[in-house]
Amino acid sequence: MSKKREIATSTDDNLKAYFDQIKKGDVLEVEYHRAAASALQKAGDATSAGKTTEIQRAPAGAKPGMEQPLYYWDPVIAPSGLLFYTGDAIPGWKGSLLIGSLRPGLLVRLRLADGRVVLEERYLGDLGARIRDVRQGPDGHPYLLTDHSDGRVLRVIPASQ
């Protein structure tokens, strides 16, 4: 049975102290705010739900009864922001997953067929910016949010436009 610790803090240093104490199977609940989100991304796999974020360190490798991922990155791309693209602005991308990457900082497109990833494409690696979020605008174009001090909102258009 896993231990459960509740913490509420606002500094990365305090969260780091808690993460240094994590043992296999521990679960943490953290008030969701910018510092917590940053520390959680550095600490391990995170999932957000409402105002709390839980992380669990999973043992490496497959275990009986564990569902294995359909797709993963090794080395990890530090995914952030996920969009199932339904727009018409880039017809060849319709039905694809668009994922922002914090490291190395790029846009990843996964083409799906029969519930499986059949193609991975990487874009904007030369931009030199971490992609924090990916959204679809009312005009049908994907929009990207970078997270530098001079962060930008970028509209993705086909090269032919």
Collapsing DSSP states into helix, strand and coil, what is residue 93? helix
How many CB atoms are closer than 10 A to CB 68? 8
Predicted pLDDT of residue 59 = 52
Give me the residue spans of the domains in the chain. 4-56, 79-155
User: pTM here?
Assistant: 0.61
**Closest to 85 in 3D by CA, of 105, 103, 111, 118:** 111
The chain-wide mean pLDDT, for the chain, equals: 74
Q: What is the pLDDT of residues 46-82, one digit of tens each?
A: 333 333 334 444 556 677 888 877 888 888 899 999 9
Q: What is the pLDDT of residues 129-145, one digit of tens each?
A: 999 999 999 999 999 99
Enumerate the H helices of the chain as residue ranges. 12-20, 34-43
- Confidence check: pLDDT of 92 > 70: yes
- Confidence check: pLDDT of 29 > 60: no
Q: Check residues 65 and 95 and name the one with the higher pLDDT.
A: 95
Predicted pLDDT of residue 161 = 65
Predicted pLDDT of residue 68 = 78
Q: Look at strands 131-136 and 116-123 and give their pairing.
A: unpaired
User: Mean per-residue pLDDT for 77-98?
Assistant: 95
Measured CA to CA, the distance from residue 92 to residue 85 in angstroms comes to 10
